[in-house]
Amino acid sequence: MKIFAYALRPYDELGYLDALSRELGFEYDWTADYPTLENAGLAAGADGVCIITNPMMPDLLAAYRELGVRGLATRSIGYDHIDLLAARELGIRVAHAAYPPEGVANYAIMLMLMALRKVKLVMRCAAAQDFSLAGKIGRDLSSCTVGVVGTGAIGACVVRHLQGFGCRVLACDPVERDELRALATYVSLPELLAASDVVTLHAPGLPENHHMIGRTELALMRQGAVLVNAARGSLVDTGALVEALESGHLGGAALDTIEHEEELCYLDRSRDALPNRDRAVLSALPNVIVSPHMAFYTDEDVAGMVRSNVEALLAFADGGETPYEVR
């Protein structure tokens, strides 16, 4: 059994993959480059290919199928960057990653705190030796109503951890979890938006969730409310969000992911003039935090991502079942 990994980071993921190869008994090879038609041949002889959040379109999938690849795993929970229909038609089984929810959940709560306390503005001023207080007064999370949109593993963890802050928690999800009913009140999305001081998104990036937060939804939010997104960029209509921020309707936003970031993560683009005006506009606003889609980035989560991908690809090679398969 052989695995070929693309876009593998030598400073963290490689160590986990190498340890797993000795523990579970498989061969592997890797490159730091993202998969393309030009470098698809690197995977020749591999049973499975491991990728990160880069587009996997029919032509690239077909190239891997011709090389004998039967399994594809992405080191991310989301898998909307993979053409699943094409993969099924080609007979390539697809898996996504699983990792402990605490890393992303706690990062989202950190973003809430930073936005409510205007940390970006405070630190910018401090760097310029402006130590005044005017315009920097914040809000206490404990006094807020927090709306959690999506109560899967990560959203549920956010609900549980918010209990320590003593804030009121609302939740919205098509599937309500009985174990959360004592911790949060389930309401409709419009009700949640209208009643929350902070709205945090933890819904999957499915087609039906595309721009689930648009102009209509943003208009429903409270004056001065904060929007947090540590899930998928496609959940928010960026243009509508910028309008809501520029008008002063929203008090701020804290975003670990935005639309059209596919060619950014996780690359050093510091010397490039980026063709991403949405990111430039959002980053320029003093009440908006934009981090580079790294809420998952903890030792525990990276280890979980690599292990779940490896276990899935081993199962695919053996013709077995795995809980990580995208069906």
Which candidate in 191, 243, 261, 325 is catalytic? 261
Residue 7 pLDDT more than 90?
Answer: yes
Residue 102 pLDDT class (50, 70, 90 cuts): very high
What is the average per-residue pLDDT within 214-238? 97
Q: Is 100 exposed, middle or buried (0-12, 13-18, 19+ CB in 10 A)?
A: middle
Amino acid 309: pLDDT:
98
Residue 263 pLDDT more than 80?
Answer: no
Residue 261 pLDDT class (50, 70, 90 cuts): confident
Q: Is 232 a catalytic residue?
A: yes
Q: Please choose, from the candidates 97, 99, 102, the residue with its C-alpha nearest in 3D space to the C-alpha of residue 82.
A: 97
Q: Is 261 a catalytic residue?
A: yes
Residue 288 pLDDT more than 90?
Answer: yes
Q: Percent of the chain having pLDDT more than 90?
A: 93
How large is the angle between the packed helices 299-317 and 102-116, nearest 10 degrees? 140
Q: Is 327 a catalytic residue?
A: no
Which candidate in 232, 259, 279, 311 is catalytic? 232
Lowest mean pLDDT among 67-71, 76-80, 93-97, 252-256: 76-80
Residue 274 pLDDT class (50, 70, 90 cuts): confident
Residue 264 pLDDT class (50, 70, 90 cuts): confident
Residue 262 pLDDT more than 80?
Answer: no
What is the average per-residue pLDDT within 176-191? 98
What is the average per-residue pLDDT within 18-37? 97
Residue 238 pLDDT more than 90?
Answer: yes
What is the average per-residue pLDDT within 253-271? 89
Lowest mean pLDDT among 8-17, 173-182, 253-262: 253-262
- Distance in angstroms (rounded) separating the CA atoms of residues 248 and 118: 15
Q: Which residue has the tokens 């807020």?
A: 144
Which candidate in 70, 293, 307, 311 is catalytic? 293
- Distance in angstroms (rounded) separating the CA atoms of residues 15 and 92: 27
Distances (CA, A) of 18 to 2, 26, 51, 313: 12, 10, 16, 15
**Mean pLDDT for all residues in the chain:** 96
Amino acid 300: pLDDT:
97
Residue 62 pLDDT class (50, 70, 90 cuts): very high
CB 221 within 8 A of CB 227: yes
pTM of the model: 0.92
Residue 119 pLDDT class (50, 70, 90 cuts): very high
Q: Is 9 exposed, middle or buried (0-12, 13-18, 19+ CB in 10 A)?
A: middle
pLDDT tens per residue across span 41-58: 999 999 999 999 889 999
First to last CA, the chain: 23
Amino acid 157: pLDDT:
98
Q: Please choose, from the candidates 15, 12, 17, 16, the residue with its C-alpha nearest in 3D space to the C-alpha of residue 2.
A: 17
